[in-house]
Chains A and B, each alone.
Chain A
Amino acid sequence: MLDIERLSLSLEQQPVLSGITLHLARGDIGCLIGPSGCGKTTLLRAIAGFVPPASGQIHIGGRPVSDSARQVPPEKRRVGMVFQDIALFPHLDVAANIAFGISHWTATERQQRVSDLLKLVGLPDMGTRFPAQLSGGQQQRVAIARALAPKPQLLLLDEPFSALDAELREQVSRDVRHILKQEGITALFVTHDQNEAFTTADMLGVMTDGQLVQWDTPYRTYHRPANRFVADFIGRGSFIPGTVSGAFSVQTCLGEFQGSLPAGLQPGDRADVLIRPDDIIHDDDSPRTARVVDRAFRGAHMLYTLELEDGIRVPCLAPSHHAHAVDSRIGIRLELEHIVAFSRDGE
């Protein structure tokens, strides 16, 4: 539904996006994540047609909307957009906001569509309210209804939940995923909140410095990060040093791990192995122990920071009834289903 090929873009002579390529299938929800200033919002704006790319192509629903020959203006792209600051028209009531993009429909069609959408977003009786009379979560749902009204081919959401407070954010993002899936909407959204990305996205794009470094399922970006940046950025974890000991193994202070290694790593090379908090299992019976450096109570879980020999620190997620004091030593065991390792030098 959305195909982007080698898209590059500069703003005021500064390169902002370079060589972005991604494909989003019909009905899928994609999510762009990355540190602030990485260009994710600009990419969204380029897809919507608010900033012209320097090179590359964008196709929406198989139709070219942006290439070297032409730029389809935003109003002709059939792309819905939901904004961080919500941007409901303050002078129009909720129904008029939703009907804004379908003013060329007949009155009956329009009313039908508005009331369907209000039901869809769970605000059936709010049509005559004004945006200022709604809560933040309600406003955001109206904004989504407004964007969906003209039945866009693609919905773009720019940090849609960042104006909401934490509890509401999770609720609304789940609701939104439900709505999008129910309607079969293809959507691409931008966030800096990983949980939001994990719960909502079918495809996750990790961006840094104007480049899309990985475009993959959330599961794979977590478990199969394409490079050290993705491994660092997605989820918690830390690297422990090791030495490549075979074609499929790395020797570390926590033992030898088996798995596929990145190309180019030769036995004897130094490598870093990614350890996720859930890779380290707290086991009081284990002979291997580590010192507790810090702990954070997370309700159901306790997130420990442990120090191994050589001062290497690793995270460990344990059931929260296993309360151990800082500086005590606890038993641990490693359960690595697969190994993620990167060469220590370079990359």
Chain B
Amino acid sequence: MTKPRVRSLAIWLLAVVMASPVLVVAASWLAGVSGNWQHLLDTVLPVYLANSVVLALGTGTGTLLVGTASAWAVARFSFPGHGTLSWALLLPMACPAYLLAYTWTGLLAPEGLLQQALALPLPDIRSLPGAIAMLTLVLYPYIYLMARSAFIQQSAVALDVARSLGAGPWRRFFRVALPLARPAIIAGLALVLMETLADYGTVQYFGVPTLSTGIYRTWFGLGDINAAAQMASALLLAMVLLLWVERFARQRRAITDSFAQRASRSVISGWRGWAVTAALCLPVLFGFLLPALQLLAWSAPQLDSALDSRFLGLLGNSLLIATLTTACAVGIGLLLIYARRLVPDTLRRHATRLASFGYAVPGTVLAVGVVLALGSTDQVINDVAQRLGLPAPGLVFSGTLFAVVFACTVRFLTIPVQGLEAGMARLSINLDHAGRSLGHPPLALFRRVHLPLLKVPLATSALLVFVDTLKELPATLVLRPFDTNTLAVRAFELASDERLADAALPALAILLAGLFPVILLTRATLQASEVSSAATDASVPSHA
């Protein structure tokens, strides 16, 4: 009995460390309210708030429309280019919103490609609607991914029954398919809204002040990190709400998983088919192809300088941070989920919740929390070293890459946790019991049964963490050691200085690096769909 206790304690300790930036931000209210608050309330705070709300509403609506419609089309119909589009629709994930923002600024500029070609009065993209458009284009894949798998997993029977009762295709969609997929879609939407509220680069670049950018303004403009932390906690509150919605939706998602018979796709031929193809090409075109072409056009003249050491340094830093973060997040995620599988008590369940809360924490909020948490840790270490008469180690945590990797791990830990949680839930507990009774202790069982069966969620979550870390801007911007630049930070700095063309090379590199995982994801889902569908088919839900 004591061994699991000790392990539970260790799990809790890990969870508290992962949650420390959040706890520190929440604890900022203990220090009292500074005089800056009245000033903020009188001036900028209402504007921040209004902009954030409009941004969330607009992006939510946009991603819902694009994500659900494209998922439905891909899951249920065959049309020209179906195979290509089913993965191409994920491409915009490779492009962070702030890159899209500055590329579109260039595309729509008076001397830009589009303006020249169309000779139309194009709208000013550097506005709130512009930011909504940018965020919609990069975030709809979240809903697309969730909704598509929900639609694919829906039983053919439910749709056939609706059909036999005389429901046409629209009615089948709105009355059967959509309600069945709603939990998955809402879960995706909650993620989109969290990303939207967390966005820093796009709104900062477009000059739209939101809560997210307001935190840095308060921190660096007013020099009041405590007021910044307090403002951050307001944003956190909104995130907690969304996280709760997402959790709730996810719990209800299980209803679609038990059906074995999958519906087949119906063919749309002729001009209708091509119309669907064209419509589905639009998000890929605007969210990926056009910006990528523009970036290529900008960077072509400087390709000879691509291999200079400065650029390779940026690339190396980015890949290093992304790889380390992925390893940490996936490793810790596996640990937490497997610990819960072994002893599914409330203690461990709460520990997992606590540890994976970081996703609710926008990069700007996280940066404040990490600086506060790691800064005081470093202080303690240096004090201890001084007392022991040792040379002061300096800012070992807050002043090194550790801070960036830690921040990104905290922020993205929920991806593997939720992915693996869902994957694990799909495996009958009797697989564990069978393995144990066949002489395999927990670790061997994990290696021989869970690991191979969790390949898909592992690959998926590793990919998502990797891409997200590469694209991560606000936390890296503040937390990186002062001589260390990443592709994202450099691209953002150059773009902010209106050196759009110079920013193109690092931006293109982010895009390309982000592409590899998208391809991997596509492959992994294709290959593993056989194994995972076999797994779901073989495990009839237990009634015992």
Nearest-neighbour CB distance to chain A for B345, whole angstroms, equals 10
**B225-233, B414-422, B535-543: which lies at the interface:** B535-543
CA distance A149 to B434 in the complex (A): 12
A113 CB within 8 Å of chain B: no
In the assembled complex, which residues on chain A have CB atoms less than 8 Å from the CB atom of B436?
48-50, 73-75
Residue from the set B436, B537, B541 with the largest chain A CB neighbour count within 10 Å: B436
CB pair B544–A158 under 8 Å, yes or no, is yes
CB pair B538–A88 under 8 Å, yes or no, is yes
In the assembled complex, which residues on chain B have CB atoms less than 8 Å from the CB atom of A49?
436-437
Which of B437, B538, B541 contacts A90 (CB under 8 A)? B538
A83 CB within 8 Å of chain B: yes
In the assembled complex, which residues on chain A have CB atoms less than 8 Å from the CB atom of B544?
41, 84, 158-159, 190
Closest residue on chain A to residue B436 by CB atoms: A74
Which of B449, B537, B543 contacts A89 (CB under 8 A)? B449
Nearest-neighbour CB distance to chain A for B188, whole angstroms, equals 27
Which of A36, A76, A87, A88 contacts B433 (CB under 8 A)? A87
**In chain B between 410 and 461, which residues have their CB closer than 8 angstroms to a CB of chain A?**
428, 430-431, 433-441, 448-449, 452-453
CA distance A84 to B533 in the complex (A): 19
In the assembled complex, which residues on chain B have CB atoms less than 8 Å from the CB atom of A139?
538
In the assembled complex, which residues on chain B have CB atoms less than 8 Å from the CB atom of A48?
433, 436-437
Annotate B524-537 by CB proximity to A: 1 below 8 A, 0 otherwise.
00000001011101
CB pair B534–A81 under 8 Å, yes or no, is no
Nearest-neighbour CB distance to chain B for A145, whole angstroms, equals 12
Closest residue on chain B to residue A87 by CB atoms: B430
Which of B433, B535, B542 contacts A74 (CB under 8 A)? B433
CB pair A150–B438 under 8 Å, yes or no, is yes
CB pair B542–A80 under 8 Å, yes or no, is no
CA distance A347 to B440 in the complex (A): 47
Given A75-B441, A90-B453, CB of A81 within 8 Å of CB of B433: yes
In the assembled complex, which residues on chain A have CB atoms less than 8 Å from the CB atom of B428?
83, 85, 87
Nearest-neighbour CB distance to chain B for A93, whole angstroms, equals 11
**In chain A between 154 and 206, which residues have their CB closer than 8 angstroms to a CB of chain B?**
156, 158-159, 163, 190
Closest residue on chain B to residue A52 by CB atoms: B1
CB pair A90–B535 under 8 Å, yes or no, is yes
**In chain A between 123 and 164, which residues have their CB closer than 8 angstroms to a CB of chain B?**
130-132, 139, 143, 146-147, 149-150, 152, 156, 158-159, 163
CA distance A305 to B448 in the complex (A): 56
CB pair A87–B537 under 8 Å, yes or no, is no
CA distance A48 to B436 in the complex (A): 9
Which of A41, A77, A100, A190 contacts B448 (CB under 8 A)? A100
Given A81-B434, A87-B434, CB of A150 within 8 Å of CB of B439: yes
Residue from the set B430, B437, B539, B540 with the largest chain A CB neighbour count within 10 Å: B437
Given A84-B543, A85-B430, A87-B428, CB of A77 within 8 Å of CB of B535: no
Given A48-B437, A89-B431, CB of A131 within 8 Å of CB of B542: no
A79 CB within 8 Å of chain B: yes
CA distance A50 to B435 in the complex (A): 12
CA distance A130 to B452 in the complex (A): 15
Closest residue on chain B to residue A76 by CB atoms: B439
A side interface size, CB within 8 A: 43
CA distance A276 to B4 in the complex (A): 53
In the assembled complex, which residues on chain A have CB atoms less than 8 Å from the CB atom of B534?
90-91, 130-132
**In chain A between 82 and 107, which residues have their CB closer than 8 angstroms to a CB of chain B?**
83-91, 100-101, 103-104
CB pair B540–A100 under 8 Å, yes or no, is no
CB pair A85–B540 under 8 Å, yes or no, is yes
In the assembled complex, which residues on chain B have CB atoms less than 8 Å from the CB atom of A149?
438
CB pair B539–A87 under 8 Å, yes or no, is yes
Nearest-neighbour CB distance to chain A for B129, whole angstroms, equals 49
In the assembled complex, which residues on chain B have CB atoms less than 8 Å from the CB atom of A83?
428, 430, 433-434, 542
Closest residue on chain A to residue B434 by CB atoms: A87
CA distance A132 to B544 in the complex (A): 23
Annotate A17-56 by CB proximity to B: 1 below 8 A, 0 otherwise.
0000000000000000000100001000100111000000
CA distance A91 to B532 in the complex (A): 8
CA distance A320 to B531 in the complex (A): 51
CA distance A45 to B434 in the complex (A): 11
CA distance A84 to B539 in the complex (A): 10
CA distance A75 to B442 in the complex (A): 9
**In chain B between 276 and 335, which residues have their CB closer than 8 angstroms to a CB of chain A?**
none
**In chain A between 187 and 230, which residues have their CB closer than 8 angstroms to a CB of chain B?**
190
In the assembled complex, which residues on chain B have CB atoms less than 8 Å from the CB atom of A100?
434-435, 438, 440, 448
CA distance A343 to B453 in the complex (A): 58
CB pair A75–B439 under 8 Å, yes or no, is yes
Nearest-neighbour CB distance to chain A for B489, whole angstroms, equals 42
CA distance A85 to B431 in the complex (A): 9
CA distance A130 to B535 in the complex (A): 11
In the assembled complex, which residues on chain A have CB atoms less than 8 Å from the CB atom of B441?
73, 75
Nearest-neighbour CB distance to chain A for B429, whole angstroms, equals 9
Nearest-neighbour CB distance to chain B for A335, whole angstroms, equals 40
CB pair B541–A146 under 8 Å, yes or no, is no
In the assembled complex, which residues on chain A have CB atoms less than 8 Å from the CB atom of B453?
89-91
Nearest-neighbour CB distance to chain B for A300, whole angstroms, equals 32
CA distance A77 to B448 in the complex (A): 20
CB pair A85–B539 under 8 Å, yes or no, is yes
In the assembled complex, which residues on chain A have CB atoms less than 8 Å from the CB atom of B435?
89, 100
Nearest-neighbour CB distance to chain A for B250, whole angstroms, equals 23
Nearest-neighbour CB distance to chain A for B480, whole angstroms, equals 41
Given A74-B433, A159-B544, CB of A132 within 8 Å of CB of B538: yes
CA distance A86 to B537 in the complex (A): 11
CB pair A91–B452 under 8 Å, yes or no, is yes
CA distance A25 to B453 in the complex (A): 39
CA distance A163 to B539 in the complex (A): 11
Closest residue on chain B to residue A97 by CB atoms: B434
Nearest-neighbour CB distance to chain A for B7, whole angstroms, equals 14
Given A73-B441, A90-B535, A130-B534, CB of A84 within 8 Å of CB of B433: no
In the assembled complex, which residues on chain A have CB atoms less than 8 Å from the CB atom of B430?
83-85, 87
CA distance A158 to B433 in the complex (A): 12
In the assembled complex, which residues on chain B have CB atoms less than 8 Å from the CB atom of A147?
434, 437-438
CB pair A81–B538 under 8 Å, yes or no, is no
Closest residue on chain A to residue B451 by CB atoms: A91
In the assembled complex, which residues on chain A have CB atoms less than 8 Å from the CB atom of B540?
84-86, 163
Closest residue on chain B to residue A78 by CB atoms: B439
CB pair B535–A81 under 8 Å, yes or no, is no
In the assembled complex, which residues on chain A have CB atoms less than 8 Å from the CB atom of B543?
36, 84
Which of B438, B439, B449, B541 contacts A85 (CB under 8 A)? B541
Closest residue on chain B to residue A136 by CB atoms: B540
**In chain B between 478 and 506, which residues have their CB closer than 8 angstroms to a CB of chain A?**
none
CA distance A323 to B535 in the complex (A): 51
Nearest-neighbour CB distance to chain A for B528, whole angstroms, equals 10
Which of B431, B452, B531, B533 contacts A87 (CB under 8 A)? B431
In the assembled complex, which residues on chain B have CB atoms less than 8 Å from the CB atom of A80?
437-438
CA distance A84 to B543 in the complex (A): 9
CB pair B531–A90 under 8 Å, yes or no, is yes
Residue from the set A45, A89, A130, A159 with the largest chain B CB neighbour count within 10 Å: A89
Q: A77-B437, A85-B541, A132-B538 are in contact. List 14 more A-B contacts (CB 8 A).
A: A74-B437, A75-B440, A83-B542, A89-B434, A90-B534, A90-B538, A91-B535, A100-B440, A101-B440, A146-B434, A146-B438, A147-B438, A150-B438, A156-B437
13 A–B contacts from the bound complex (CB under 8 Å) = A50-B433, A79-B437, A81-B433, A84-B540, A85-B540, A89-B435, A90-B531, A91-B531, A100-B438, A101-B439, A147-B434, A150-B439, A159-B544
Closest 4 pairs between A and B when the two form their complex, measured CB to CB: A101-B438, A87-B430, A132-B534, A74-B436
